[in-house]
Chains A and B, each alone.
Chain A
Amino acid sequence: MASRKKTQELLKGLYNAVVFYDEKAAAELSKVALEESIDAYTAITDGLAAGMKKVGELYAAQEYFVPELLLCSDALYAGLGVLRPHIKVKQAKVKAQIVIGVVEGDIHDIGKNLVKVMFDAAGWIVHDLGKDVKLEKFVEEQQRTNSEIVGLSTLMTTSMLAIPKVIKMIRSQSTNVGIMVGGAPLTRDIAKRYGADGYAENAGTAVQEGVRLVEMLKKRKAQK
């Protein structure tokens, strides 16, 4: 069992590995953490995920841009790959589930991938459908996983036309689901007009919006 000081050092090391996008260090320190019997869940939440939260702040402050975010996410996943199999089942408190994907007709997925990282880091279960996703696939996956949230991404003005259509399709099958959208041509106003419950301007604000929607669903359920 690692001493308190050693534990803090390792957690800080994991945090720094993500913030300073050191993929190798993230994997190695994760192994050391396990060797030192540091709880895998703690290593993720207080080390890797805390680092990713800081990365989100740096992105919002325009100190980090997409290249840094991509490398930070590589470091995050390098650590998660080592630590995740060692999480004790009862610890793995799932915050919520999200089905995420880029809508049909659009192959631009950098934004969606970054949003996925943020949800992963925040402890959500992410069902990533990828890019150029058939609209019915969103409906099927939400039904299959009973996910609280569906996240729809688009970069192109033409593929954004699929957004209102898929929102209607999802709602026709499930009333208790929050739908959030994001991507360059969308605005909060357009998102609302298209029938979405939420909108995230960038990856940095996506989790916050997801949490808001989960709270909204809970309230809605309580009122029934």
Chain B
Amino acid sequence: MELRQDKMTSQERIKALFNYQKPDRVPIGNLGIPIKTQGLTQRFPGFNVVSNYNDPRRAFYASLWTAKYYNWELVVHSFAHTILGGWDFGGEIQMPDKEYQDSLSIKSTPVKTEKDIRNLKMPNPKTAGGIPMAMEFSKLQGENNLPVWFFSRSPFCVASNICGSEQFCRWMIKKPDLCRRLLRMATDHIFNVLQYWIDTFSAENIFLEISSPNESNQLISPKQFTEFAFPYHIELQKKLRTMGIRRFFFHICGDQNLNLPYLAELSSLWVHPSILSFGHEVDLEVAGKYFPKDIIFGNIEPAVFQAGTAQQVYELCKVAIEKGKRLSGGFMLGPGCGLPPMSQVENVLAMTKAVDNLGWYE
């Protein structure tokens, strides 16, 4: 499906974006597959939420088809998480196989007590958790001449996931050294797995995504962010440079308004333009001021795709497009976080319609 006045292919549009040139229109991105999408379940019988976590082949082709259906650019294209944390380090997971579940969760964390940390071993970077399935997905991307996606939580989130967010929060204040130990292991694990990807695909073909939901100010303070998250972001960015990673996507999840000054400082270390995805809690103009050299992605409230109306989505897109078109580093319209799998088809289409009506550059 092409929009009315498309003058560029999706690849040309993304290329223009990364060269700081105006594309023909606002590119559209996605973060997830709406399972209810018309035709998806007919084309991929049995495709459901769990398929996104245990069936990389079907997830790959379903996401390609869905992107085409909604006219999304395939710039964001990942299979669950390459690295999650709790699973990789030996925790027990729960697949989202119940009616109201949409994501993989940790049923039992590998670390419950201080003693567990002492006994914690580094995971095998090729076989731990969901890594083999993520590798299968990445290989399909490579075979189809698409950027190979490597998707990890930030070191802070991986570390939190090893012992559970509540425990990590308590330890940050009462036993910070335990957090630092977990952060060290989490960071090293990310580098080890990334090296495996680099050895397999070479660095220039990899698009690296980091997401940081646990760093939101709905959970931690900016002071805690600077103490426990920021130093590892710096280490990560420096290492990415030496490893030769050229494409970076950062999902700055949730309300991170109080962290923005520090993230702006961090931005001097990453390659420009990178794609920065924001939740609806962060105003796009504010994001653009902090990160003038980067492509801002977002930030339609995900819940509205599921619980709202098409008109509501359209109105939110209208505001986002108006602001986004003025951003100096470029803009992609998309949801502010993972698109709910049970999103209404007409609500998701409203995003495409809004771009078709309002997203053209003169």
The chain A residues found within 8 Å of chain B, CB to CB, are: 21, 62, 64-68, 70-71, 74, 103-107, 110, 113, 156-162, 184-187, 190, 193-194
| Docked-complex contact A65 and B217, CB < 8 angstroms | yes
- Which residues of chain B from 57 to 99 have any CB-CB distance to chain A below 8 Å in the complex? 94, 96, 98-99
Q: For B258, list chain A residues within 8 Å (CB).
A: 62
Q: What are the 8 closest A-B residue pairs judged by CB atoms, nearest first?
A: A105-B100, A158-B102, A157-B340, A67-B169, A185-B303, A105-B101, A159-B100, A65-B221
A-B contact sample (6 more), CB < 8 A, given A62-B221, A161-B306:
A65-B221, A71-B170, A104-B99, A106-B101, A107-B107, A160-B307
| Docked-complex contact A21 and B166, CB < 8 angstroms | no
**Residue in chain A with minimal CB distance to B337:** A157
Q: How far is the CA of A105 from the CA of B174 in the complex (A)?
A: 31
- Which residues of chain B from 212 to 233 have any CB-CB distance to chain A below 8 Å in the complex? 217-221, 224
Q: Beyond A62-B258, A190-B307, is A67–B172 a contact (Cβ under 8 Å)?
A: yes
Q: How far is the CA of A71 from the CA of B220 in the complex (A)?
A: 13
Q: How many residues of B contact A (CB 8 A)?
A: 35
Q: How far is the CA of A171 from the CA of B341 in the complex (A)?
A: 28
Which single member of A67, A103, A107, A194 contacts B105 (CB below 8 Å)? A107
Q: How many A-B residue pairs have CB under 8 A?
A: 93
Q: How far is the CA of A202 from the CA of B64 in the complex (A)?
A: 38
B165 at the A interface (CB under 8 A): yes
Q: How far is the CA of A104 from the CA of B96 in the complex (A)?
A: 11
| Docked-complex contact A62 and B217, CB < 8 angstroms | yes
B342 at the A interface (CB under 8 A): yes
| Docked-complex contact B166 and A65, CB < 8 angstroms | no
Q: For B165, list chain A residues within 8 Å (CB).
A: 110
Q: For A185, list chain B residues within 8 Å (CB).
A: 302-303, 307, 340
Q: For A74, list chain B residues within 8 Å (CB).
A: 170
Q: Beyond A67-B220, A71-B173, is A105–B98 a contact (Cβ under 8 Å)?
A: yes
Q: For B98, list chain A residues within 8 Å (CB).
A: 104-105
Q: Beyond A185-B302, A193-B307, is A107–B94 a contact (Cβ under 8 Å)?
A: yes
| Docked-complex contact A157 and B302, CB < 8 angstroms | yes
| Docked-complex contact A156 and B102, CB < 8 angstroms | yes
B49 at the A interface (CB under 8 A): yes
Q: How far is the CA of A65 from the CA of B342 in the complex (A)?
A: 31
| Docked-complex contact B341 and A158, CB < 8 angstroms | yes
Closest Cβ of chain B to A170, distance in Å, is: 16
Closest Cβ of chain A to B256, distance in Å, is: 13
- Which residues of chain B from 186 to 210 have any CB-CB distance to chain A below 8 Å in the complex? none
B267 at the A interface (CB under 8 A): no
| Docked-complex contact A190 and B174, CB < 8 angstroms | no
Q: For A107, list chain B residues within 8 Å (CB).
A: 94, 105, 107
